[in-house]
Chains A and B, each alone.
Chain A
Amino acid sequence: QVHLVESGGGLVKPGGSLRLSCAASGFTFTDYYMSWIRQAPGKGLEYVSYISSTISTIYYADSVKGRFTVSRDNAKSSLYLQMNSLRAEDTAVYYCARNIVGGTTIDYWGQGTLVTVSS
């Protein structure tokens, strides 16, 4: 059974940094592209970042480009999101997600971790 478990969320001041982690299990991690999706409180969904299985392809939303860095450790079946220069508008639940082979459709989501950026 596919499991995606995020950790690392919390309260951080504007301008601060946070690193999110996602532990994957129940599938062959190296076979899948992975993504981070976020949802601001009471709002809709926003695609944040996408990373291929071999790390050869990485995309970022314009809203986070230059501030966020996605990475993965295939040996540990883990996905990461390093978030720097955080802003109030980055406040959201961040979901780790597995992509259907061949695109950016998500077939499995983690439970999410809340990031709050506030002074």
Chain B
Amino acid sequence: EIVLTQSPATLSLSPGESATLSCRASQSVSSYLAWYQQKPGQAPRLLIYDASNRATGIPPRFSGSGSGTDFTLTISSLEPEDFAVYYCQHRNNWPPTFGPGTKVDIK
């Protein structure tokens, strides 16, 4: 099973600042990595799939990069609605696994 590690666990930032979230895989997942956003009491929402493709309706301030074992989600200028937990997930093989999440909270 591929283990995904996310860092930092918590990121405290102010609206307007840029956020950089990291996801590292225990072995290569090629470009088969997705990012999700989850707010309290809600289901996750797909942001990025296959490392760098924005999902439908996702604003351009969200961008993804990386391949192999190291991936990054960047939020270029945080809006109030972006404060949430972010998970990465690989689809390289079974079982697909999720990272433990990075919480982006308001400083």
Contact = CB atoms under 8 A, between A and B. Distances in A.
Interface of A: 44-47, 50, 59, 61-62, 95, 100, 103-112
In which size bucket is the chain B interface? 20 to 34
B98 A46 contact: yes
A-B pairs with the 6 shortest C-beta distances? A109-B43, A104-B96, A103-B91, A45-B98, A104-B91, A105-B34
Given A100-B49, A105-B34, A105-B49, A45 B43 contact: no
Given A59-B95, A104-B91, A112 B100 contact: no
Given A106-B36, A107-B56, 11 more contacts: A44-B100, A45-B36, A45-B44, A47-B98, A103-B91, A104-B94, A105-B49, A106-B44, A108-B46, A109-B43, A109-B45
A46 B34 CA distance: 14
23 contacts: A44-B87, A45-B89, A45-B98, A47-B97, A47-B98, A50-B94, A59-B94, A59-B95, A62-B95, A95-B43, A95-B44, A100-B49, A103-B32, A104-B91, A105-B50, A105-B91, A106-B34, A106-B36, A106-B46, A107-B46, A109-B43, A111-B42, A112-B43
A62 B94 CA distance: 10
B101 interface: yes
Interface string B86-107: 0101010011111111000000
Task: Find the residue from B36, B96, B98 having the highest chain A CB count within 10 A.
Answer: B96
Nearest to B90: A104
B49 A44 contact: no
